[in-house]
Amino acid sequence: MLKEKGLKEFTISVAGIGISFLFDQNLSEFGVENINYDFITDDSAEIKLRVHYGYIPEKSKGEKIFDTGRTWSLYSNQGKLFLQDCPFESDSPPNQLVVLESDLKSGNIFINDEFNQNILPDPLGYPLNQVLMIILLSRSKGVMLHACGIDDEGYGYLFLGNSTHGKSTIARLWSENQATVLNDDRIIVREKDGELWMYGTPWHGDFEEVSSKGLLIQELFFLRHGRRNSAVPKEGEKAVSMLLTRCFPPFWDKKGTDYTIGFCHLIARKIPIYELNFVPDKKIINFVRNI
């Protein structure tokens, strides 16, 4: 979709949060690598990012906010946020750099790669795509969870778990039973009209099918492998603690972290929650439906 003469722009919407990408070259005939077109929308965007290929600006002095030490770091300078795909103290320039204005409504993406063969590098590759979403969600918009979301004929099941806990297995089993898998690894939860909704994201795990749709959460389960199927209710501080170990809080931002903790309390108050021990076969489907 062309928004400016000679320039290509598209908007993705994840959990109702629109991010628009405007390319700085005449690229209307080019495709974009790793873009899930199910998430492209004509809706308006909350944040507009201009994409520049082929160079990275010289690093400005800034204050380190967060550094993983390997994959990405975040720093600030004159009110702007700088998100890069390398450590803060790295001697080499980043391959991708996102510069955000203080209001998080606009910014620039710089990508060192040149484009070729009519395919552009993804303007927001891993992990910067998810870090940006965490930053946006922390502004009182919701939380992202390590979770598998299932639409079982309009009934929303949310299964939380860290790696190896069985999220992709649950996705496969429900998919074989004609249910829709929103995502097997990254689910966003937001409040809508006083109720909690879950939304699929493009960032899947081993199960590659995803959906951009959202639906009301009816029940939530913390996954564990077991010798038999069983469900134990969880509530209060225990449920909140388990939610916090399976979400993505912005550790670098006290206000955002406080919001995330409060949102986990909201989930624990509003949704029936269980710890689900399960055997990885199709019997788990009717077991969950009958809880």
Q: Examine the pLDDT at 243 and tell me if it is beyond 90.
A: yes
Decide if 101 contacts 107 (C-beta within 8 A). Answer: yes
Q: Are 100 and 165 contained in the same domain?
A: no
Decide if 74 contacts 131 (C-beta within 8 A). Answer: yes
Q: Are 270 and 249 contained in the same domain?
A: yes
Q: Which of 137, 159, 186 is the last residue of a domain?
A: 137
User: For the chain, what is the mean pLDDT?
Assistant: 92
Average pLDDT (262-279) is 98
Max Cα–Cα distance, the chain, nearest Å: 62
**Beta partners for residue 108, in sequence order:** 50, 99
pLDDT of residue 5: 46
In a domain, 188, yes or no: yes
Q: Residue 202 has which token pair?
A: 């493009």
Q: Which of 137, 169, 184 is the last residue of a domain?
A: 137
Q: Are 38 and 115 contained in the same domain?
A: yes
State which residues form the domain around 181: 143-289
Higher pLDDT, 68 or 23: 68
pLDDT of residue 1: 39
Q: Are 110 and 147 contained in the same domain?
A: no
Query: Which residue, 235, 257, 136, 258, is CA-closest to 190?
Result: 136
Q: Are 219 and 191 contained in the same domain?
A: yes
Q: Are 28 and 83 contained in the same domain?
A: yes
Cβ-in-10-Å burial (0-12, 13-18, 19+) of 92 comes to: exposed
Q: Examine the pLDDT at 96 and tell me if it is beyond 90.
A: yes
In a domain, 1, yes or no: no
Taking the complete model, does pTM exceed 0.85, yes or no?
yes
The CATH number of residue 216's host domain is 3.40.50
Q: Are 133 and 214 contained in the same domain?
A: no
pLDDT of residue 85: 96
**Which residues make Cβ contacts (< 8 Å) with residue 82, sequence separation at least 6?**
60, 62, 74, 75, 76, 97, 98, 99, 100
Q: Name the helix (H) or strand (E) containing 130.
A: helix 128-137
pLDDT of residue 117: 55
Please state whether 72 falls in left (phi above 0), alpha (psi between -120 and 50) or beta: beta
In a domain, 187, yes or no: yes
CA distances in angstroms from 165 to 147, 169, 218, 225, listed in the order given = 10, 9, 21, 7
182-204 residue pLDDT tens: 999 999 999 999 999 999 999 99
Q: Are 264 and 156 contained in the same domain?
A: yes
Q: Count the domains in the chain.
A: 2
Q: Are 25 and 82 contained in the same domain?
A: yes
In a domain, 2, yes or no: no
Q: Which of 137, 153, 184 is the last residue of a domain?
A: 137
Q: Are 219 and 278 contained in the same domain?
A: yes
Q: Are 128 and 166 contained in the same domain?
A: no
Percent of the chain with pLDDT over 70: 92
User: ∠232-175-147 over CA atoms, to 5°?
Assistant: 50
Q: Are 209 and 117 contained in the same domain?
A: no
pLDDT of residue 122: 79
Split at pLDDT 50, 70, 90, the class of 4 is very low
Q: Examine the pLDDT at 180 and tell me if it is beyond 60.
A: yes
In a domain, 206, yes or no: yes
8-56 residue pLDDT tens: 788 999 999 999 999 866 555 566 777 787 899 998 899 999 998 888 9
Q: Examine the pLDDT at 2 and tell me if it is beyond 80.
A: no
Give the integer Cα–Cα distance in Å for 263 and 255. Answer: 12
111-154 residue pLDDT tens: 987 666 566 777 888 899 999 999 999 999 999 999 999 999 99
Helix 254-270 with 236-244: angle, nearest 10 deg: 130
How, if at all, do strands 80-84 and 96-100 pair? antiparallel
Decide if 79 contacts 49 (C-beta within 8 A). Answer: no
pLDDT of residue 3: 45
Q: Examine the pLDDT at 163 and tell me if it is beyond 70.
A: yes
The Cβ of residue 271 has, within 10 Å, a number of other Cβ atoms equal to: 19
